[in-house]
Amino acid sequence: MTALALRRDGPGTVKVPGPRRRLIGLVVALVALLVLLVLSVMIGSTAIAPSVVWDALFRPSADIDQFAIRDYRLPRTVAGLAVGAALGLSGALMQALTRNPLAEPGILGVNAGASFAVTVAVGLLGVRDIGDYMWFAFAGALVVTIMVLALGSTRQGQSPVAMVLAGICIGAVLGGAREALQLTNPEAFDAMRSWNAGSILGRPLEIVWPILPFFAVAIVLAFAVAGPLNAMALGDELAVAQGVRLARTRVLAVIALTLLAGGATAIAGPIAFVGLMVPHVARWIVGPHQRWIFAYSVLLGPILLLASDILGRVVMHPSEVPVGVVTAFVGAPVLIALARRKRASGL
């Protein structure tokens, strides 16, 4: 999905809560996240007693039910936490960078690049293992974002609008090529069907660990550019007057959001909606303060993702619904309700 609106709406007049209430909100979100982490280990498509869950984590044995906790539920919980946080934060970065409330990381070509690379890997190179997809997806996302960054650069530096347009065009071309490759290669099409849905099921910890250092670097970068991005929200000229170096801020922000979104896509496949809506909710709670928006997004992302994942495990029992399918169903009503509020979508 691409966010197509490049026009800015009028500035939002959201009531801005004080620092105290923002902090309380942050603690509430943290507690909610911890509860969801516990629920994510407890709830699954088979009923396992809490005592077995406890034993599986702290008194491991070769009992068949313990494997379900250690091998499946724990890794997917870790994956959900990492992917959710990465998507939430990358969305916040993207919206701050483009000053567009409808921007999401996908429109810089991250998903298009990752999907194209995975399709090539599956269709032409015969790669079949989810652990091998990961590096293709990550590399594809990085290469395409660099291309977008280069094409979106003008003599004056990076223009957010030009970058978004470049992302849409490259995304379209790669998307067509990907589809052509898939429809002429039934096996690639078949193997890509499940990847396209976006899921954190069946991703062992070995897939998640190697991505985490990239996330750590990106989170540090994101908070480092939060201040300058705040200043840029008021306009480039004002920001320059305050000593912000526009080009450097933009490049660092793009690097951070690419690592985050690319890494998340590498682990889970394309999950479109989290990056779009989480920053909205964060902005709705804390007002236009990038650092707070970032902090909230890091927490709200995994809250949405884990809640959707838990819901997806039970709603179609004994089967499961991939989390990428559930997030849009959970998120879209929230987004529509927000859009119906007056001016809630301004930045």
Partner 1 sequence: MTTTPRRRGSAAAAVLLSAALVLAACGSDGDAAGDKAGETHSVTADNGTIEVPVDPQRVVTIGNTTLPFIDMGGEPVGVTDVSASELGLIPEDQRTTFEAGTSLGASADQIDLEQLAGLEPDLILAQFPESEFEPLEKQLGSIAPTVFWGLGTEWKAFADGLAQAGNLTDGLGEQKAEFEDKITRIQETYGEIIDDTSFVNLDRWASSDPGTFSIADFGCVEIAQDDIGMDFPRAAEGEDPLGWTSLPFEQLAELSEYDVITYPVDAEGRPTEPFAPVVETNTWKALPAVGSGRALGVFCPGNNSYGPVLQYLDSLDAALATLPAKE
Partner 2 sequence: MSAVDFGRRVLVLRRRRIAVRLERRSVLVCTALAVAAAGLAVLALMTGSYQLSAGQVVSALTGGETGLVHDIVVEWRLPRVVAALVFGAALGVSGAVFQSLLRNPLADPGLIGFSQGSYTGALVVILVVNGSYLQLVGGALLGGMATAVAVYLLAYRRGVQGFRLIVVGIGVSATLESLNIWLILKAELEQAMAAAAWGAGSLNGVSWNQVVLGGSCIAVLLLLAGMSSRPMRQLELGDDAAASQGVRVSPARLGLIVVGVALTATVTAASGPIAFISLVAPQIGRRLARTGGITLAPAAFVGALLCLAADYVAQHVAPTPLPVGMITVMLGGGYLGYLLFTEARRRL
Interacting residue ranges for partner 2, rule: CB under 8 A: 1, 3-7, 9, 102, 151, 154-156, 159, 162, 165-166, 168-173, 175-177, 179-180, 182-184, 186, 189-190, 193-194, 196-197, 272-273, 276, 321-322, 324-329, 331-333, 335-336, 338-340, 345
CA-CA-CA-CA torsion sign (227, 232, 238, 241):
positive
Contacted entry of partner 2, partner 1, none for residue 49, CB cut-off 5 to 8 Å set by kind: none
| 197 binds partner 1 per the rule CB under 8 A | yes
Instruction: Give the residue with the Cβ less far from partner 1, 58 or 336.
Output: 58
Name residues contacting partner 1, limited to 27-86 (CB under 8 A): 44-46, 62, 64-65, 67-68, 71-73, 76
Distances (CA, A) of 232 to 23, 204, 291, 346: 24, 40, 13, 15
- Smallest distance from the beta carbon of 325 to partner 2, in angstroms? 4
Instruction: Give the residue with the Cβ less far from partner 1, 115 or 158.
Output: 115
- Contact pick of 36, 85, 127, 130 for partner 1 (by CB under 8 A): 130
110-123 and 186-197 helices cross at what angle (nearest 10)? 140
Instruction: Give the residue with the Cβ less far from partner 1, 72 or 329.
Output: 72
Contacted entry of partner 2, partner 1, none for residue 295, CB cut-off 5 to 8 Å set by kind: none
Instruction: Give the residue with the Cβ less far from partner 1, 9 or 187.
Output: 187
Applying CB under 8 A, the site for partner 1 has a residue count of 33
Query: Which of helix, strand or coil describes residue 344?
Result: coil
Contacted entry of partner 2, partner 1, none for residue 331, CB cut-off 5 to 8 Å set by kind: partner 2
Instruction: Give the residue with the Cβ less far from partner 1, 208 or 256.
Output: 208
Q: Please state the three-class secondary structure of 196-213 as a single string.
A: HHCCCCCCCHHHHHHHHH
- Contact pick of 103, 168, 201, 282 for partner 1 (by CB under 8 A): 201
User: What is the Cα–Cα distance from 321 to 310, expressed in whole angstroms?
Assistant: 10
Q: Please state the three-class secondary structure of 275-307 as a single string.
A: HHHHHHHHHHHHCCCHHHHHHHHHHHHHHHHHH
Specify the stretch interacting with partner 1 by CB under 8 A; choose among 2-10, 258-266, 275-283, 315-323: 315-323
- Smallest distance from the beta carbon of 244 to partner 2, in angstroms? 20
User: What is the Cα–Cα distance from 39 to 17, expressed in whole angstroms?
Assistant: 30
Contacted entry of partner 2, partner 1, none for residue 217, CB cut-off 5 to 8 Å set by kind: none
User: What is the Cα–Cα distance from 87 to 18, expressed in whole angstroms?
Assistant: 27
| 204 CB neighbour count, 10 Å cutoff | 14
Instruction: Give the residue with the Cβ less far from partner 1, 239 or 268.
Output: 268
Token pair in block for residue 320? 């499961």
DSSP string, 8-64: PPPPP-PPPPPHHHHHHHHHHHHHHHHHHHHHHHH-SSS---HHHHHHHHHS----H
Residue 8: phi and psi, rounded to 5, are -90, 140
Instruction: Give the residue with the Cβ less far from partner 2, 78 or 304.
Output: 304
Distances (CA, A) of 138 to 39, 91, 100, 121, 244: 30, 17, 25, 12, 30
Instruction: Match 């690639």 to its residue by tokens.
Output: 188
User: What is the Cα–Cα distance from 290 to 6, expressed in whole angstroms?
Assistant: 20
Name residues contacting partner 1, limited to 133-192 (CB under 8 A): 183-187, 190-191
- Smallest distance from the beta carbon of 186 to partner 2, in angstroms? 6
Residues that bind partner 1 (CB under 8 A): 44-46, 62, 64-65, 67-68, 71-73, 76, 128, 130, 183-187, 190-191, 193-194, 197, 199, 201-203, 313, 318-320, 322
